[in-house]
Amino acid sequence: MQQLKHYRPLLGLNFDQRVITAFCQLWQQLGSAEFPVAVMDVLEAVCPTDSCGILVYYRERKPLSLLHRFNPVERQVPANIYSTGPYALDPQYLLFLAGCDTGAYWLRDIAPDDFYSSEYYQTFYSKTGVADSIDVLWRLDNDTALVFFMQRNIHSSEFTPEDLIALRMVLPILSAALTRHYQLHQPVIPLPSEDKTHQQVQCTLAHFASSLLTKRERDVLLYLLRGYSSALTAEKLHTSDGTVKIHRKNIYRKLEIGSQAELFSLFISCIPYARPDEDSDPLLLYQNQKSPIA
């Protein structure tokens, strides 16, 4: 008797009217300036969100917002605050800088272990009203990427592995369509207005508290700002958990602060005082500005 041949069932998407309409609009907008918005519409139809939008990530400039759909009632901070400096600590942006491939990335999978209890999350991220996010990143080149960000708010359920699977199923189609669109349309990717924000952010990351802390203490400080636990910081720096805790204690003492909230606030406050053309400590400049010599 011939043995039955078994086929593995394929996971299917629910192609309801909203998904079908979104894909139809996608093809109709191919080659037009509205095509990226049509891509966002497909993603939102496949995986519903509370807020979403499109950013352009640059390696040498601050991110540029192309589209943002959100309920302002949910936000406790201005919509444009992200591009004033907090983006430098965003796990999604850091993943881009690390050279990640085109793909869909769930915050839960890429964030440091203490991210959700970090002051970055408590002071900035949660006040945007966002509780969970998935970024669909499409690389234009090594230094630039379109980022379709998808967010669920604090009053909604979080994303699920099935949501990520659904997005990754349509991503090859969207990636091929984006490639064809840019062959047809050949748009010039806009650049953010010329200012020193990105240079000041990078300068602050490079020199913040350098006049007070040792190099190793500054290494620990940056991991602390990004939401790494003492244990994971120790693993990254090839040292012990106890040593990292001592460094953290010294950081608080030298900066005369008593909490991670004060540290995050101090870091953000120093960004406007950074001088990209110098190696000076922006913290020192910030403190001098606050307490001018009579």
In a domain, 192, yes or no: no
Q: Are residues 28 and 133 in the same domain?
A: yes
In a domain, 11, yes or no: no
Residue 74: per-residue pLDDT: 65
Q: What CATH number does the domain containing 247 carry?
A: 1.10.10.10
Q: Helix H segments across the chain?
A: 17-28, 35-46, 91-97, 107-110, 119, 161-185, 197-207, 215-226, 230-237, 241-255, 260-270, 282-290
Q: Are residues 59 and 112 in the same domain?
A: yes
Residue 193: per-residue pLDDT: 64
CB 263 within 8 A of CB 270: no
Which of 122, 156, 185 finishes a domain?
Answer: 185
Residue 72: per-residue pLDDT: 61
Q: Which pLDDT tens digit goes with each residue over 79-103?
A: 677 888 889 999 999 999 999 999 9
Q: Are residues 223 and 172 in the same domain?
A: no
Within the chain, which residues score under 70 in pLDDT? 1-12, 71-79, 187-194, 290-294
Domain that holds residue 86: 17-185
Residue 117: per-residue pLDDT: 86
Q: Are residues 211 and 265 in the same domain?
A: yes
In a domain, 8, yes or no: no
Which of 185, 213, 244 finishes a domain?
Answer: 185
Q: Are residues 168 and 233 in the same domain?
A: no
In a domain, 190, yes or no: no
Residue 294: per-residue pLDDT: 42
Q: Are residues 161 and 254 in the same domain?
A: no
In a domain, 9, yes or no: no
Residue 291: per-residue pLDDT: 60
In a domain, 257, yes or no: yes
Kindly state the tokens that stand for 211: 């006049």
Q: Could you give the CA distance from residue 204 to residue 275 in angstroms, rounded to a whole number?
A: 9
Which of 162, 185, 208 finishes a domain?
Answer: 185
Residue 240: per-residue pLDDT: 96
Kindly state the tokens that stand for 125: 């991220």
Q: Are residues 70 and 124 in the same domain?
A: yes
Q: Are residues 31 and 123 in the same domain?
A: yes
Residue 220: per-residue pLDDT: 96
Tell me the β-bridge partners of 54.
67, 148
In a domain, 132, yes or no: yes
Q: Are residues 174 and 201 in the same domain?
A: no
In a domain, 230, yes or no: yes
Q: Are residues 180 and 204 in the same domain?
A: no
| pTM as predicted | 0.86
Q: How many domains does the chain have?
A: 2
Kindly state the tokens that stand for 208: 């913040």
Q: What CATH number does the domain containing 177 carry?
A: 3.30.450.80
